[in-house]
Structure 1
Amino acid sequence: MSDILMIVGDFGEDYEIMVPFQALQMVGHEVDAVCPEKEAGETIKTAVHDFRGDQTYMESRGHNFELNATLADVTPSDYDALVVPGGRAPEYLRIHEPVLDAVRHFFEANKPVASLCHGPQILAAAGVLDGYEMTSFPAVRAECEAAGCSWVDEVVTDDNLVTGQAWPDHDEWLAQFLDLLGTDISHGEPVAADD
Protein backbone atom coordinates (compact mmCIF):
# COMPACT_ATOMS: atom_id res chain seq x y z
CA MET A 1 0.00 0.00 0.00
CA SER A 2 0.98 3.64 -0.43
CA ASP A 3 2.48 6.19 1.94
CA ILE A 4 0.40 9.34 1.52
CA LEU A 5 1.14 12.88 2.65
CA MET A 6 -1.84 15.09 3.56
CA ILE A 7 -1.32 18.84 4.00
CA VAL A 8 -3.86 20.41 6.38
CA GLY A 9 -4.30 23.56 8.46
CA ASP A 10 -6.60 25.37 10.84
CA PHE A 11 -10.12 25.70 9.49
CA GLY A 12 -9.60 23.23 6.74
CA GLU A 13 -12.90 21.58 5.86
CA ASP A 14 -13.68 18.88 8.42
CA TYR A 15 -15.21 16.31 6.03
CA GLU A 16 -12.44 16.88 3.51
CA ILE A 17 -9.79 16.10 6.11
CA MET A 18 -11.42 13.46 8.32
CA VAL A 19 -13.11 11.36 5.63
CA PRO A 20 -10.13 10.88 3.27
CA PHE A 21 -7.74 10.45 6.21
CA GLN A 22 -9.85 7.62 7.63
CA ALA A 23 -10.98 6.10 4.32
CA LEU A 24 -7.45 5.84 2.94
CA GLN A 25 -6.25 4.22 6.17
CA MET A 26 -9.24 1.88 6.16
CA VAL A 27 -8.13 0.33 2.87
CA GLY A 28 -4.53 -0.05 4.03
CA HIS A 29 -2.70 3.15 3.09
CA GLU A 30 -0.48 5.02 5.55
CA VAL A 31 -1.44 8.70 5.79
CA ASP A 32 0.71 11.38 7.43
CA ALA A 33 -1.18 14.60 8.14
CA VAL A 34 1.07 17.66 8.47
CA CYS A 35 0.68 21.40 8.96
CA PRO A 36 3.32 24.14 8.74
CA GLU A 37 4.50 25.44 12.10
CA LYS A 38 2.84 22.57 14.00
CA GLU A 39 4.25 19.26 15.17
CA ALA A 40 2.97 15.72 15.40
CA GLY A 41 0.60 15.43 18.35
CA GLU A 42 -0.65 19.00 18.02
CA THR A 43 -4.10 19.67 16.62
CA ILE A 44 -5.70 21.85 14.01
CA LYS A 45 -9.24 23.19 14.27
CA THR A 46 -11.51 22.13 11.42
CA ALA A 47 -14.62 23.83 10.04
CA VAL A 48 -17.78 22.28 8.61
CA HIS A 49 -19.05 23.96 5.46
CA ASP A 50 -22.71 23.28 4.85
CA PHE A 51 -24.67 24.02 1.70
CA ARG A 52 -28.18 25.26 2.59
CA GLY A 53 -29.29 26.99 -0.58
CA ASP A 54 -27.64 30.35 0.13
CA GLN A 55 -25.28 32.07 -2.29
CA THR A 56 -22.34 30.51 -0.46
CA TYR A 57 -21.75 27.89 2.24
CA MET A 58 -22.31 28.33 5.95
CA GLU A 59 -19.38 27.59 8.24
CA SER A 60 -19.45 26.13 11.74
CA ARG A 61 -16.74 24.78 14.05
CA GLY A 62 -15.72 21.21 13.39
CA HIS A 63 -13.31 19.05 15.39
CA ASN A 64 -9.80 19.15 16.74
CA PHE A 65 -7.83 17.00 14.31
CA GLU A 66 -4.55 15.58 15.59
CA LEU A 67 -1.53 15.73 13.32
CA ASN A 68 0.48 12.53 13.16
CA ALA A 69 3.63 13.91 11.51
CA THR A 70 5.66 17.14 11.41
CA LEU A 71 6.06 18.93 8.07
CA ALA A 72 9.60 20.05 8.91
CA ASP A 73 10.60 16.42 9.48
CA VAL A 74 9.06 14.79 6.40
CA THR A 75 10.76 14.25 3.06
CA PRO A 76 8.23 14.41 0.19
CA SER A 77 10.23 11.89 -1.84
CA ASP A 78 9.45 9.29 0.85
CA TYR A 79 5.75 9.48 -0.08
CA ASP A 80 3.87 7.89 -2.95
CA ALA A 81 0.97 10.37 -3.15
CA LEU A 82 -0.39 13.68 -1.87
CA VAL A 83 -3.82 14.83 -0.64
CA VAL A 84 -4.66 18.55 -0.45
CA PRO A 85 -8.08 19.16 1.17
CA GLY A 86 -10.03 22.41 1.02
CA GLY A 87 -11.71 24.79 3.41
CA ARG A 88 -10.17 28.09 4.44
CA ALA A 89 -6.75 26.64 5.25
CA PRO A 90 -5.43 26.78 1.65
CA GLU A 91 -5.72 30.58 1.72
CA TYR A 92 -2.77 30.79 4.09
CA LEU A 93 -1.07 27.41 3.56
CA ARG A 94 -0.15 28.62 0.06
CA ILE A 95 2.18 31.25 1.49
CA HIS A 96 4.41 28.63 3.16
CA GLU A 97 7.33 27.74 0.90
CA PRO A 98 7.77 24.22 2.39
CA VAL A 99 4.15 23.48 1.41
CA LEU A 100 4.72 24.70 -2.14
CA ASP A 101 8.00 22.78 -2.40
CA ALA A 102 6.27 19.59 -1.27
CA VAL A 103 3.49 20.06 -3.83
CA ARG A 104 6.00 20.71 -6.61
CA HIS A 105 7.80 17.45 -5.79
CA PHE A 106 4.68 15.36 -6.40
CA PHE A 107 4.05 16.99 -9.77
CA GLU A 108 7.69 16.86 -10.87
CA ALA A 109 7.79 13.15 -9.96
CA ASN A 110 4.34 12.58 -11.55
CA LYS A 111 3.00 11.00 -8.35
CA PRO A 112 -0.76 10.82 -7.63
CA VAL A 113 -2.27 13.99 -6.18
CA ALA A 114 -5.86 14.42 -4.96
CA SER A 115 -7.18 17.90 -4.28
CA LEU A 116 -10.62 19.11 -3.37
CA CYS A 117 -12.61 22.32 -2.99
CA HIS A 118 -10.22 25.22 -2.16
CA GLY A 119 -7.17 22.91 -2.12
CA PRO A 120 -6.28 23.89 -5.71
CA GLN A 121 -5.41 27.36 -4.39
CA ILE A 122 -2.23 25.73 -3.08
CA LEU A 123 -1.61 23.97 -6.40
CA ALA A 124 -2.08 27.25 -8.28
CA ALA A 125 0.36 29.02 -5.95
CA ALA A 126 2.89 26.22 -6.53
CA GLY A 127 2.64 26.81 -10.28
CA VAL A 128 1.80 23.20 -11.19
CA LEU A 129 -1.61 23.45 -12.90
CA ASP A 130 -0.60 24.54 -16.41
CA GLY A 131 -2.21 22.27 -19.00
CA TYR A 132 -4.34 20.22 -16.61
CA GLU A 133 -8.07 19.62 -16.92
CA MET A 134 -9.43 19.91 -13.40
CA THR A 135 -12.15 21.18 -11.10
CA SER A 136 -12.38 22.94 -7.75
CA PHE A 137 -14.94 24.75 -5.64
CA PRO A 138 -16.54 27.03 -8.25
CA ALA A 139 -15.39 30.18 -6.40
CA VAL A 140 -11.76 29.08 -7.04
CA ARG A 141 -12.29 28.56 -10.78
CA ALA A 142 -10.74 31.92 -11.76
CA GLU A 143 -7.54 31.15 -9.82
CA CYS A 144 -7.27 27.72 -11.44
CA GLU A 145 -7.80 29.08 -14.93
CA ALA A 146 -5.31 31.89 -14.30
CA ALA A 147 -2.81 29.15 -13.35
CA GLY A 148 -3.24 27.60 -16.81
CA CYS A 149 -5.73 24.79 -16.35
CA SER A 150 -8.92 23.95 -18.20
CA TRP A 151 -11.72 23.97 -15.56
CA VAL A 152 -14.61 21.48 -15.78
CA ASP A 153 -17.76 21.11 -13.71
CA GLU A 154 -17.23 17.52 -12.52
CA VAL A 155 -14.84 15.24 -10.68
CA VAL A 156 -11.97 14.60 -13.04
CA THR A 157 -8.70 12.69 -13.26
CA ASP A 158 -6.06 14.13 -15.59
CA ASP A 159 -2.73 12.31 -15.60
CA ASN A 160 -1.60 12.28 -11.94
CA LEU A 161 -4.23 14.74 -10.61
CA VAL A 162 -7.70 13.93 -9.25
CA THR A 163 -9.91 16.91 -8.35
CA GLY A 164 -13.40 17.42 -6.93
CA GLN A 165 -15.51 20.45 -6.07
CA ALA A 166 -16.37 19.78 -2.41
CA TRP A 167 -17.08 17.04 0.12
CA PRO A 168 -20.32 15.94 -1.60
CA ASP A 169 -17.97 14.58 -4.32
CA HIS A 170 -16.23 12.21 -1.89
CA ASP A 171 -17.56 8.96 -3.35
CA GLU A 172 -16.43 9.67 -6.90
CA TRP A 173 -13.31 11.69 -5.94
CA LEU A 174 -11.99 9.03 -3.54
CA ALA A 175 -12.84 6.22 -5.99
CA GLN A 176 -10.85 7.92 -8.75
CA PHE A 177 -7.94 8.56 -6.38
CA LEU A 178 -7.94 4.92 -5.25
CA ASP A 179 -7.89 3.86 -8.92
CA LEU A 180 -4.94 6.18 -9.55
CA LEU A 181 -3.15 4.67 -6.54
CA GLY A 182 -3.83 1.18 -7.91
CA THR A 183 -5.72 0.19 -4.77
CA ASP A 184 -7.35 -3.22 -5.11
CA ILE A 185 -10.41 -3.62 -2.92
CA SER A 186 -11.83 -7.12 -2.94
CA HIS A 187 -15.49 -7.78 -2.31
CA GLY A 188 -15.56 -11.31 -0.95
CA GLU A 189 -18.31 -13.15 0.84
CA PRO A 190 -18.99 -11.79 4.33
CA VAL A 191 -17.67 -13.96 7.14
CA ALA A 192 -19.68 -14.29 10.33
CA ALA A 193 -17.92 -13.16 13.52
CA ASP A 194 -18.10 -16.73 14.86
CA ASP A 195 -16.21 -18.24 11.89
Structure 2
Amino acid sequence: MGALEGSSILFITAHEFEDVEVLYPLLRFSEEGAAITITYPPKDMPGHFSPRSYAPDKPITGRFGTTIPFVVLEEGKRWRQAPTADVSVDDYDAVYLPGGFGPDAVRLHAPSRRLVAEAHRAGKVIASICHGPQIMISTDLHEGTDLIRGRRCTAYAAVQDDLKNAGGVFVDEPAVVDGNVVTGRVPDDLPEFCKAAIEVIAKTRA
Protein backbone atom coordinates (compact mmCIF):
# COMPACT_ATOMS: atom_id res chain seq x y z
CA MET A 1 0.00 0.00 0.00
CA GLY A 2 1.35 3.43 -0.98
CA ALA A 3 1.79 6.38 1.36
CA LEU A 4 -1.08 8.23 -0.35
CA GLU A 5 -3.52 5.33 -0.67
CA GLY A 6 -7.07 6.68 -0.75
CA SER A 7 -6.05 10.32 -1.15
CA SER A 8 -7.05 12.75 -3.90
CA ILE A 9 -4.91 15.52 -5.37
CA LEU A 10 -6.09 18.39 -7.56
CA PHE A 11 -3.69 19.70 -10.25
CA ILE A 12 -4.43 23.22 -11.54
CA THR A 13 -2.62 24.14 -14.75
CA ALA A 14 -3.03 25.90 -18.11
CA HIS A 15 -1.52 26.22 -21.59
CA GLU A 16 2.30 26.24 -21.69
CA PHE A 17 2.74 24.24 -18.49
CA GLU A 18 6.14 22.66 -17.88
CA ASP A 19 5.52 19.15 -19.24
CA VAL A 20 7.67 17.18 -16.80
CA GLU A 21 6.25 19.12 -13.84
CA VAL A 22 2.83 17.67 -14.63
CA LEU A 23 3.79 14.19 -15.79
CA TYR A 24 6.35 13.27 -13.13
CA PRO A 25 4.19 14.24 -10.11
CA LEU A 26 1.14 12.63 -11.72
CA LEU A 27 2.95 9.31 -11.97
CA ARG A 28 4.75 9.64 -8.65
CA PHE A 29 1.66 10.59 -6.63
CA SER A 30 -0.48 7.95 -8.33
CA GLU A 31 2.23 5.37 -7.68
CA GLU A 32 1.68 6.09 -3.99
CA GLY A 33 -2.07 5.54 -4.38
CA ALA A 34 -3.40 9.05 -4.97
CA ALA A 35 -6.24 9.78 -7.38
CA ILE A 36 -5.38 12.73 -9.62
CA THR A 37 -7.80 15.29 -11.04
CA ILE A 38 -6.58 17.95 -13.48
CA THR A 39 -8.45 21.21 -13.95
CA TYR A 40 -7.65 24.40 -15.84
CA PRO A 41 -9.21 27.77 -16.65
CA PRO A 42 -11.60 27.86 -19.62
CA LYS A 43 -9.67 27.85 -22.88
CA ASP A 44 -11.57 30.92 -24.09
CA MET A 45 -10.57 32.98 -21.03
CA PRO A 46 -8.58 36.09 -22.04
CA GLY A 47 -4.91 35.38 -21.47
CA HIS A 48 -5.36 31.59 -21.61
CA PHE A 49 -3.64 30.95 -24.92
CA SER A 50 -0.66 29.20 -26.40
CA PRO A 51 1.58 31.40 -28.54
CA ARG A 52 2.46 28.39 -30.68
CA SER A 53 -0.15 27.77 -33.39
CA TYR A 54 -3.05 29.00 -31.28
CA ALA A 55 -6.53 27.69 -32.11
CA PRO A 56 -9.69 27.99 -29.97
CA ASP A 57 -10.20 24.22 -29.86
CA LYS A 58 -6.55 23.39 -29.15
CA PRO A 59 -6.14 21.04 -26.16
CA ILE A 60 -4.26 22.31 -23.14
CA THR A 61 -0.66 21.97 -24.30
CA GLY A 62 2.66 22.03 -22.45
CA ARG A 63 5.77 23.93 -23.53
CA PHE A 64 7.17 20.78 -25.15
CA GLY A 65 3.97 19.50 -26.73
CA THR A 66 2.35 17.29 -24.06
CA THR A 67 -1.42 17.60 -24.35
CA ILE A 68 -4.20 17.25 -21.81
CA PRO A 69 -5.89 14.85 -22.39
CA PHE A 70 -2.66 12.87 -22.52
CA VAL A 71 -1.93 10.73 -25.56
CA VAL A 72 -0.31 7.85 -23.66
CA LEU A 73 -2.11 7.92 -20.28
CA GLU A 74 -5.67 6.65 -20.33
CA GLU A 75 -8.14 8.97 -18.66
CA GLY A 76 -9.89 7.31 -15.74
CA LYS A 77 -6.98 5.07 -14.74
CA ARG A 78 -4.40 7.30 -13.04
CA TRP A 79 -6.08 10.63 -13.71
CA ARG A 80 -9.22 12.41 -14.82
CA GLN A 81 -10.06 15.97 -15.79
CA ALA A 82 -12.85 18.19 -14.53
CA PRO A 83 -14.04 21.75 -15.23
CA THR A 84 -13.00 24.17 -12.50
CA ALA A 85 -16.66 25.04 -11.90
CA ASP A 86 -17.34 21.40 -10.97
CA VAL A 87 -14.47 21.10 -8.49
CA SER A 88 -14.97 21.20 -4.71
CA VAL A 89 -11.92 21.35 -2.47
CA ASP A 90 -13.79 19.15 0.01
CA ASP A 91 -13.00 16.23 -2.31
CA TYR A 92 -9.22 16.69 -2.19
CA ASP A 93 -6.38 16.32 0.27
CA ALA A 94 -3.98 18.56 -1.63
CA VAL A 95 -3.70 21.05 -4.47
CA TYR A 96 -0.68 20.99 -6.78
CA LEU A 97 0.39 23.93 -8.95
CA PRO A 98 2.96 23.03 -11.63
CA GLY A 99 5.15 25.65 -13.28
CA GLY A 100 6.06 26.66 -16.80
CA PHE A 101 4.11 29.59 -18.23
CA GLY A 102 0.72 28.13 -17.28
CA PRO A 103 0.68 30.04 -13.97
CA ASP A 104 0.31 33.28 -15.95
CA ALA A 105 -3.22 32.19 -16.86
CA VAL A 106 -4.10 30.43 -13.60
CA ARG A 107 -3.19 33.44 -11.46
CA LEU A 108 -5.59 35.60 -13.54
CA HIS A 109 -8.46 33.14 -13.08
CA ALA A 110 -10.38 34.13 -9.95
CA PRO A 111 -12.17 30.75 -9.54
CA SER A 112 -8.79 28.96 -9.56
CA ARG A 113 -7.39 31.37 -6.99
CA ARG A 114 -10.44 30.83 -4.81
CA LEU A 115 -10.00 27.05 -4.99
CA VAL A 116 -6.41 27.42 -3.80
CA ALA A 117 -7.48 29.78 -1.01
CA GLU A 118 -10.33 27.53 0.15
CA ALA A 119 -8.05 24.51 0.20
CA HIS A 120 -5.41 26.36 2.19
CA ARG A 121 -7.93 27.63 4.74
CA ALA A 122 -9.28 24.09 5.12
CA GLY A 123 -5.81 22.86 6.06
CA LYS A 124 -5.17 21.02 2.79
CA VAL A 125 -1.64 20.75 1.48
CA ILE A 126 -0.70 23.28 -1.22
CA ALA A 127 2.31 22.19 -3.26
CA SER A 128 3.93 24.15 -6.06
CA ILE A 129 7.16 24.19 -8.06
CA CYS A 130 9.15 26.47 -10.37
CA HIS A 131 6.86 29.32 -11.54
CA GLY A 132 3.86 27.79 -9.76
CA PRO A 133 4.35 29.87 -6.58
CA GLN A 134 3.36 32.93 -8.62
CA ILE A 135 -0.22 31.63 -8.31
CA MET A 136 0.22 31.57 -4.54
CA ILE A 137 1.45 35.18 -4.59
CA SER A 138 -1.68 36.27 -6.47
CA THR A 139 -3.88 34.21 -4.18
CA ASP A 140 -2.39 35.97 -1.14
CA LEU A 141 -2.99 39.36 -2.77
CA HIS A 142 -6.55 38.78 -3.94
CA GLU A 143 -7.88 36.24 -1.44
CA GLY A 144 -6.13 37.37 1.76
CA THR A 145 -4.26 34.12 2.40
CA ASP A 146 -0.74 33.59 3.73
CA LEU A 147 0.57 30.98 1.31
CA ILE A 148 3.77 32.98 0.74
CA ARG A 149 3.59 35.87 3.19
CA GLY A 150 5.73 35.11 6.25
CA ARG A 151 6.73 31.64 5.01
CA ARG A 152 9.97 29.99 3.96
CA CYS A 153 9.60 29.08 0.30
CA THR A 154 11.45 28.43 -2.93
CA ALA A 155 10.85 28.64 -6.69
CA TYR A 156 12.69 29.13 -9.96
CA ALA A 157 15.43 31.75 -9.52
CA ALA A 158 13.58 34.33 -11.64
CA VAL A 159 10.67 34.23 -9.18
CA GLN A 160 12.69 34.83 -6.01
CA ASP A 161 12.29 38.63 -6.13
CA ASP A 162 8.52 38.20 -6.47
CA LEU A 163 8.48 35.90 -3.45
CA LYS A 164 10.48 38.37 -1.37
CA ASN A 165 8.27 41.28 -2.44
CA ALA A 166 5.23 39.21 -1.44
CA GLY A 167 6.63 38.78 2.07
CA GLY A 168 8.14 35.32 1.65
CA VAL A 169 11.54 34.16 2.87
CA PHE A 170 13.29 32.74 -0.19
CA VAL A 171 15.39 29.61 0.42
CA ASP A 172 17.60 28.25 -2.36
CA GLU A 173 16.90 24.56 -1.74
CA PRO A 174 15.29 21.80 -3.86
CA ALA A 175 12.17 21.60 -1.68
CA VAL A 176 10.95 23.69 1.24
CA VAL A 177 8.18 22.79 3.68
CA ASP A 178 6.48 25.43 5.83
CA GLY A 179 3.33 24.17 7.53
CA ASN A 180 0.96 22.80 4.89
CA VAL A 181 2.82 24.57 2.05
CA VAL A 182 5.45 22.75 -0.03
CA THR A 183 7.45 24.59 -2.67
CA GLY A 184 10.05 23.34 -5.14
CA ARG A 185 12.71 24.96 -7.25
CA VAL A 186 13.18 23.47 -10.75
CA PRO A 187 12.45 20.28 -12.73
CA ASP A 188 15.74 18.71 -11.61
CA ASP A 189 14.41 18.92 -8.04
CA LEU A 190 11.19 17.02 -8.75
CA PRO A 191 12.31 13.86 -6.87
CA GLU A 192 13.05 15.85 -3.69
CA PHE A 193 9.95 17.99 -4.13
CA CYS A 194 7.62 15.04 -4.65
CA LYS A 195 9.14 13.19 -1.70
CA ALA A 196 8.52 16.20 0.54
CA ALA A 197 4.96 16.66 -0.76
CA ILE A 198 4.13 12.98 -0.27
CA GLU A 199 5.42 13.08 3.31
CA VAL A 200 3.38 16.19 4.17
CA ILE A 201 0.18 14.93 2.53
CA ALA A 202 0.51 11.56 4.28
CA LYS A 203 1.11 13.29 7.61
CA THR A 204 -1.94 15.56 7.29
CA ARG A 205 -4.14 12.55 6.50
CA ALA A 206 -2.85 10.45 9.40
Scaled by the length of structure 1, the TM-score of the pair is: 0.81
How is 1:144-163 mapped onto 2 (pairs within 5 angstroms)?
144-154=163-173, 155-163=175-183
Q: Specify the structure having the higher radius of gyration (Cα).
A: 1
Structure 1 residue runs without a partner (length 5+): 48-60, 184-195
- Corresponding residue number in structure 2 for 1:55: none
Does residue 18 in structure 1 map to residue 23 in structure 2?
A: yes
Q: Deviations over 1:78-101 (max 9, x none)?
A: 211110000001012101000110
Does residue 176 in structure 1 map to residue 196 in structure 2?
A: yes
Distance 1:158 1:93 in 2: 23
Partner SS, residue 172 of structure 2: coil
- Corresponding residue number in structure 2 for 1:62: 65
How is 1:36-185 mapped onto 2 (pairs within 5 angstroms)?
36-37=41-42, 43-47=59-63, 61-66=64-69, 68-127=81-140, 128-154=147-173, 155-182=175-202
Higher strand share: 1
- CA drift of 1:46 comes to 0.5
- CA drift of 1:77 comes to 2.2
- Runs of 4+ aligned structure 1 residues displaced above 6 Å come to none
> Per chain length, whose mean CA-contact separation is higher, i.e. which structure has more relative contact order (CA < 8 Å, sep 6+)?
2
Kept in 1, the 8 Å contact 2:41–2:105? The answer is no
Kept in 2, the 8 Å contact 1:36–1:72? The answer is no
The sequence identity of aligned pairs, in percent, is: 34
Calculate the aligned-residue CA RMSD, in Å: 1.5
2:111 alignment partner AA: P
1:100 alignment partner AA: R
Aligned length: 167
Kept in 2, the 8 Å contact 1:77–1:105? The answer is no
Kept in 2, the 8 Å contact 1:12–1:87? The answer is yes
Distance 2:190 2:125 in 1: 17
- CA drift of 1:65 comes to 2.2
